[in-house]
Amino acid sequence: MKLRILVPTFVLALSLAAVAAWAPPVSALDQGFRIARLKYSGGGDWYSNPTSLPNLMKALKARTAIRITGTEEARVELLDENLFSYPLIYMNGHGEVRFSQAEVERLRQYLDRGGFLWADDNYGMDRSFRREIAKVFPGQKLVDLPFDNEVFHDFYDLPHGTPKVHEHDGLPAQSLCLFDKGRLVVLYTYQSDIGDGMEDPDVHHDPAPIREQAMEFAVNLVVYVMTH
């Protein structure tokens, strides 16, 4: 795949400074960048694909100018005080997702204040995730992310859009999204399984080109979040 020009360090620094402005109590600029896995209720395996985020953090450190604080996985719940320390939270799983009313309100506050949610369906959380995210943004529907969006082109050029890692129902992979006040705030990768593709090679035995596509997509998304 075509590699885009490396995002300049000063652009990312400015972006991190912008994140720090909204993110009490910990400054993302001072602490560096780290993704947090969202621990949610409902019974779904929120902890699945345990090697995926550490591998993504290693890739970001090796491939981009983003300053990484560590490669171990951070975990956060929506009502935790340090939620706002993370510019991007990631959730996945195979089962039920359920947010309390307090969590719905906190997630909306987090997104309104500049945060970003990436939901990645492992195959099984689709129905419940759509139900719960509709509580956060009532009256809005998930829509396809346009192919000309920078997520598909900002660091790596992804000519086929969202990678198809696992078959699931045999449907095309999709990046569904929600915009709020013109800003992309939620990305939902469906019928794709990016998290599986980011795992260690011996976990799912996905072909190397597929794993690379998944990682390139994830790197693109992080670069997008940190520069918008």
pLDDT attached to residue 31:
56
Cα 26 from Cα 154, distance rounded (Å): 28
pTM: 0.86
| Mean pLDDT across the chain | 87
- φ and ψ at residue 194, rounded to 5 degrees: -60, -40
Residue 3 maps to a domain = no
Give yes or no for residue 23 having a pLDDT over 60: no
* DSSP H or E stretch at residue 118: strand 116-121
- φ and ψ at residue 125, rounded to 5 degrees: -100, 5
| Helix/strand/coil for 157 | coil
Of 177 and 122, which is predicted with more confidence?
177
Residue 91 maps to a domain = yes
Query: Using one digit for the tens of pLDDT, what is the confidence trace for 174-210?
Result: 999 999 999 999 999 999 999 999 999 998 899 999 9
Cα 79 from Cα 158, distance rounded (Å): 35
Residue 1 maps to a domain = no
pLDDT attached to residue 118:
98
pLDDT attached to residue 51:
96
Place of tokens 């939902």: 188
Give yes or no for residue 30 having a pLDDT over 80: no
Residue 160 maps to a domain = yes
Q: Are 218 and 60 in contact (CB under 8 A)?
A: no
Residue 195 maps to a domain = yes
pLDDT attached to residue 52:
97
Residue 2 maps to a domain = no
**Residues 42, 120, 6, CA angle at the centre, nearest 5°?**
145
pLDDT attached to residue 21:
33
Q: Which two tokens stand for residue 188?
A: 């939902």
Residue 4 maps to a domain = no
**Any idea what the CATH number is for the domain that residue 83 is in?**
3.40.50.12140
Q: Which domain holds residue 21?
A: 9-226
Cα 157 from Cα 159, distance rounded (Å): 6
Total number of domains in the chain? 1
